[in-house]
Amino acid sequence: MSSYRQILYQIVFRTKSNKHALTEEHCDELYKYISGIIKNKYCTIYRLNGVSDHIHIVCDLHPSVALADLLKDIKIASNIWMKNSGKFPDFNGWSDGYGAFTYSIKEKDRLIEYVKNQKEHHKTFTFMDEFRKLLIKHGIEFDEKYL
């Protein structure tokens, strides 16, 4: 018998100190680089987008991949790439934490659209407003001092 699973995640992480360091001019290259990391881990990427201080990833995790390991690999490799490329001069690293939220496959298209429209969305909402809303929506308890 085969194993079957569906693990749809929205993963959110930000720059260190919430610094606006992800220049729009080079974000497509960054997103392609991160997409490559995800694909090399046999995960399926549906959408990756963000704004100047954070990134959203919509993906399905391969059963052999631990979420924490995937995030560690993405952050370490992209950190090195970004610093070596010289294309993100204000970037000083990623924050330590992240948010990872699971969704039903039925919500995939809506979730992809939400991530696709990040620039529009963040004209009225800050990262912290959005992140708090995600935590509350998913019933995750949190302490403000750690956000």
**Cβ density class 88-122: b for 16+ within 10 Å, e for less:** beebeebeeebbbeebeeeebeebeebbeebeeeb
Phi, psi angle pair for 96, to nearest 5°: -70, -40
If you average pLDDT over every residue of the chain, what do you get?
Answer: 94
Place of tokens 């018998």: 1
Query: Cβ contacts of residue 107 below 8 Å, gap of 6+?
Result: 8
Instruction: Please determine, for residue 91, whether its predicted confidence score (pLDDT) is greater than 90.
Output: yes
pLDDT confidence tier of residue 5, bands split at 50, 70 and 90: confident
Task: Assign 50 to helix, strand or coil.
Answer: strand
If pLDDT is split at 50, 70 and 90, which confidence band does 121 have?
A: confident
Domain positions in the chain: 8-141
Decide yes or no: CATH 3.30.70.1290 for domain 8-141. yes
Q: Does 1 have pLDDT greater than 80?
A: no
How far is residue 36 CA from its own chain's centroid? 14
The model's pLDDT over 48-66, given as tens digits with 9 standing for 90+, comes to 999 999 999 999 999 999 9
Work out the pLDDT band at 76, boundaries 50, 70, 90: very high
**Cβ–Cβ < 8 Å for 11, 100:** yes
